A and B are shown apart, each in its own frame.
Chain A
Amino acid sequence: MAKPIEAYVNGLRETRLWRSVFRSGSGATNLHRALAVQQNIFLHLFSVKMRRAALNFSVTWYLGTLSLTTFVILVATGIPLMLYYHPSVPQAYADMKDLQFVVSAGVFLRNLHRWSAHAMVLLVFAHMFKVFYRGAYRPPREFNWVIGVALLLVTLFLSYTGYLLPWDQLAFWAITVGSNILSAVPVLGQKIRFLMLGGNTVNANALLRFYVLHCVILPLVAFLLIGIHMWRIRKDGGLYTGRSKSHE
Chain B
Amino acid sequence: MPDEKDTPNMEAPARLPAAGAENPTRRESFVKLGLGSMAVAGAGASVFGYEFLSPNVLYEPSPITNAGRPDRYPEGSVTADPKNGIYIVHGPQGFYALSAICTHLGCLTTWAPEQGLIACPCHGSKFTPEGAKIEGPAPRPLAWLRVWVGEDGDLMVDRSTTVPAKQFLRT
Contacts and interface: CB of A to CB of B under 8 A. Distances in A.
Contact of B105 (A180, A194, A204, A205): A180
B48 interface: no
Contacts of A177: 105-107, 122
B60 A201 contact: yes
A195 B54 CA distance: 6
A76 interface: no
A181 interface: yes
B55 interface: yes
Contacts of A198: 53, 55
A177 B137 CA distance: 13
Given A199-B60, A200-B60, A201-B60, A176 B105 contact: yes
Contacts of A143: none
Given A173-B122, A177-B122, A199 B58 contact: yes
Contacts of A181: 105
Interface residues of B, number: 11
B82 to A, nearest CB: 12
A193 B78 CA distance: 32
A19 to B, nearest CB: 45
Interface in B78-111: 105-107
Interface residues of A, number: 15
A203 B106 contact: no
Interface string A195-212: 100111101110000000
B60 A176 contact: no
Contacts of B54: 194-195
Contacts, number: 30
A180 B106 CA distance: 7
Contacts of B58: 199-200, 205
Nearest to B107: A173
Nearest to A202: B106
A113 to B, nearest CB: 26
Interface string B139-155: 00000000000000000
Nearest to A173: B107
A201 B54 CA distance: 14
Interface in A164-203: 173, 176-177, 179-181, 194-195, 198-201, 203
A216 to B, nearest CB: 15
A194 B60 CA distance: 13
A168 to B, nearest CB: 15
Contacts of A204: 59
Nearest to B85: A201
Contacts of B105: 176-177, 180-181
A65 B53 CA distance: 36
Contacts of A180: 105-106
Nearest to A196: B53
Contact of B55 (A173, A179, A199, A201): A199
Which residue among B50, B59, B105, B122 has the maximum number of chain A CB atoms within 10 Å of its CB? B105
Contacts of B60: 199-201, 203
B37 to A, nearest CB: 26
Contacts of B55: 198-199, 205
Interface string B115-142: 0000000100000000000000000000
A140 B59 CA distance: 52
A194 B50 CA distance: 11
Interface of B: 50, 53-55, 58-60, 105-107, 122
Interface of A: 173, 176-177, 179-181, 194-195, 198-201, 203-205
- The 8 A-B pairs of least Cβ separation, nearest first, read A180-B106, A177-B105, A180-B105, A176-B106, A195-B53, A199-B58, A198-B55, A199-B60
15 contacts: A173-B122, A176-B107, A177-B105, A177-B106, A177-B122, A180-B106, A181-B105, A194-B54, A195-B50, A195-B53, A198-B53, A198-B55, A199-B60, A200-B60, A203-B60
